[in-house]
Amino acid sequence: MSKKPNQTKQPNKPNPLRKKAEVQLADAPQAEAPARSAEELLHELQVHQVELEMQNEELRRAQLIIEESRDRYVDLYDFAPVSYLTLTHEALIAEVNLTGAALLGEERNKLINRRFSQFVAPQDRDRFHRYFMFAAQHGDRQYCELALVRGDGAVFHARLDCLHMRAGSGDSLVRIAFADITERKHAEEELRIAAIAFESQQGMIVTDPAGVILRVNQAFTRLTGYSAMEAVGQTPAMLQSERQDKDFYRRMWESLQQKRYWQGEIWNKRKDGKIYAEWLTISAVAAPDGNVSHYVGTFSEITENKEAEAEIHRLAYYDELTRLPNRRLLLDRLEQALAFSKRHLRYGAILFMDMDNFKTLNDTRGHDIGDLLLIMIAQRLHAAVREGDSIARFGGDEFVILLEELSEDVSEAIIQVGQVGEKVQEIIAAPFMLKDMEFNCTTSIGACLFGSHEESVDDLLRHADLAMYQAKKSGGNNLRFYDPAMQATLDERTAIENDLRQALAKRQFRLYYQIQVTSTRHVIGAETLLRWEHPIHGLISPLQFIPLAEETGLIVPIGLWVLHTACAQIKDWSEQPATRYLQLAVNVSPRQFRQPDFVEQIQQALAASGIDPTRLKLELTEGLVLDNVSDTIAKMLAIKALGVGFSMDDFGTGYSSLSYLKRLPLDQLKIDKSFVEDISTDPNDVVIIQTIIGMAHNLSLNVIAEGVETETQLELLNHYGCRAYQGFLFSKPVPAKEFEKLLVQFV
């Protein structure tokens, strides 16, 4: 429907009275006409003309009133707060007001002759058609609620009031008034949820600001024994057990007034007089003006759940294996200890402990034995500390002892910490009986005092951990205190780590080669050794950056670079007569070997270089081999099938098992230099070397000794049956070009 009908200016209508007078004068016989003069007739006509003009003016005023009334109707229709539309008997939109068009999110002229069902959500279209057809057939007023879809795709809930009508032409029409009720639907949903929540398993009570009970739920009746009729109009004081004094309730109401919230454990009394414990939460409900309009209390009985709650608390704050406080509880206690130390000006300390040889036990005897050791350590630690000190299992084989209320004097506090540390080391060093075996264990301890200046919990733990690392680095079974110099070392380590991350991309790594010879000084190959030429610090020792690369995972890409570079060197040497038959040994780190695609990496390196695989030898450590033996053997066999050889590096320094050794596809055992250096003075080293050589020969394995520096060592090794050597006696590690020049001396 348009806002106003088209208005076309009507031409002036002929005066009917004038026409009538003219006809009468024309038709009247002249003989019978009254004797009137022309002036009289003209006057009469003028009178009639005035009367007609007055009538026309009244008609124009009436027309204007009708048009103004129609304009008001159109405005009321278009801008009514309710949306209106008219549907034809085919459910096409015939009319719609502006409010309806805006609610549907379309321009009004684009809605005309469109099917209204296009704006009904798919899930409600069948229901709309049922209501529409019923209204059209029966002429009754029908109400329904549907989900409608706006032009932009947004869905809203609407209430539709449908009324059947007949147009002047006899066509069937359905007038629909509809409104957005989305907010009402959401409010109803919130009320349903609130009603369900109110009738939960927890007791609920609603009071006015003065504490007078207005409403309770069924759980309240079940837990207290009081019906809703008995409770409404009373105050919660009807439940008081007298176990809490007036100060308790005073503090409760102070909290409600200040924070508008209180939570805690409270003892109440049932209707039958039985006293029970409950966990109560009270929340204040604020009115729009900010004042409290209600208090809502929720509670649940905890008398029968004390044991269950204790178990939950234990799982959250205690280590399941050792029953010691866990990391979470330790951090909480450490926060409190820091506050106490600051308030009372007394020192405290933490001892960060790590078992020196726990991993070896875990790897060789299994996790069950390792767990048994941790349990026994936890039991012993209780006897080593003072009453009031805390012991926690921090994770793995790491324990932390929190010492509080030490001396006010720093020197005395250090002595106290040292005494506890010595006692801990002594009690841990006593032999452990682990099922059928005796096991000796030591511990490295890092100590850090607190109380002299502001430090965070994280800082203290990091400092103690750093001190522990220094204790372990010095050989284990030591106690070290943290000092700022350690932090400087840590900062230096961080800087080196940052540089290490860029060293590979900046091509700062180099391969050096240490010659390997027979007893007749015939060159059989070399071991590749990685060097880092730092642009500022110069040549950095592998002992400094290899462990760091291992820890950070950088050893994986670095190791891959070493592998490809070594293969390229073998390829280059294969084209020179003096180096054609040399075998090159490449060290493989545990982290590199554990990569799922390590076998594929070897295949790709061999394929890329095109070398003879027998010229490549991989050196593995005992620890690497014994970690997940079945997986290690599978990978070694796959690589062995490619033609690559294996040497076990540093043999004799670990805890090799002969049952594993005979299963490994090894070609060579490498005697560690720690046994070689004292071969002329230490009978034990002689026995170990003889045992290694004899075992290797029995297993059909070659033997090579590293760290050979004197002719005496060479003669003794040769005497005991070792036929291959490596060490400074022959050459230090050198770059490839120097290595090639060195070969001239061994021709």
* CATH code for the domain defined by 496-746: 3.20.20.450
What is the CATH number that goes with domain 199-304?
A: 3.30.450.20
pLDDT class of 2 with cuts at 50, 70, 90 = very low
Say which range, 135-149, 281-295, 347-361, has the weakest mean pLDDT. 135-149
Q: Is the pLDDT of residue 341 over 90?
A: no
Which has the higher per-residue pLDDT, 494 or 590?
590
pLDDT on residue 566: 97
Lowest mean pLDDT among 276-280, 308-312, 334-338, 531-535: 308-312
Whether pLDDT at 228 is above 60: yes
324-482 to CATH, choices 3.30.70.270, 3.30.1480.10, 3.40.640.10, 3.40.50.1370 = 3.30.70.270
Query: Strands (DSSP E) along 150-305, which ranges?
Result: 155-166, 172-180, 203-207, 213-216, 261-269, 275-286, 292-301
Are the C-beta atoms of 672 and 706 separated by less than 8 Å?
yes
- What is the average pLDDT value for the chain, to the nearest integer? 84
Residue scoring higher pLDDT (174 or 572): 572
Burial class of residue 189 (count of CB atoms within 10 Å of its CB; 0-12, 13-18, 19+): exposed
pLDDT over 90 at 470, yes or no? no
pLDDT at residue 7, as a whole number: 43
Could you please state the CATH topology (level 3) that the domain comprising 79-186 is classified under: Beta-Lactamase (3.30.450)
DSSP annotation of 106: S
Query: Distance between CA 448 and CA 462 in Å, rounded?
Result: 9
Q: What is the pLDDT of residues 247-287, one digit of tens each?
A: 788 889 888 888 888 998 888 999 998 888 888 999 988 88
Average pLDDT over residues 172-180: 87
- Contact indicator for 97, 78 with CB cutoff of 8 Å: yes
- pLDDT category of residue 488 using cuts at 50, 70 and 90: low
The per-residue pLDDT for 46 is: 76
pTM of structure? 0.45
Q: Does residue 683 contact residue 701 with C-beta atoms inside 8 Å? A: no
What does the pLDDT read at residue 1?
Answer: 43
Lowest-pLDDT choice from 91-100, 246-255, 304-313, 318-327: 304-313
Confidence check: pLDDT of 25 > 80: no
- What confidence tier does 9 reach under pLDDT thresholds 50, 70, 90? very low
Measured in degrees and rounded to the nearest 5, phi and psi for residue 178 equal -140, 150
How confident is the model at residue 349, as a pLDDT? 92
Q: Do domains 79-186 and 199-304 have the same CATH topology?
A: yes
Report which secondary-structure segment, H or E, holds 219. helix 218-224
Where along the chain do its domains lie?
A: 16-25+38-77, 79-186, 199-304, 324-482, 496-746
pLDDT in the model for residue 473: 84
What is the arrangement of strands in the sheet containing 142-149, beginning at the earlier edge strand? Answer: 93-96, 83-88, 172-180, 155-166, 142-149
Rounded distance between C-alpha atoms, residue 541 and residue 530, angstroms = 9
User: What is the rounded CA–CA span in Å between residue 466 and residue 517?
Assistant: 42
Q: What is the pLDDT of residue 455?
A: 78
Overall average pLDDT of the 542-569 stretch: 92
At 621 the pLDDT is 86
**Once rounded to an integer, what is the mean pLDDT over residues 319-325?**
88
SS3 444: strand
Asked whether residue 306 carries a pLDDT value surpassing 60, the answer given is no
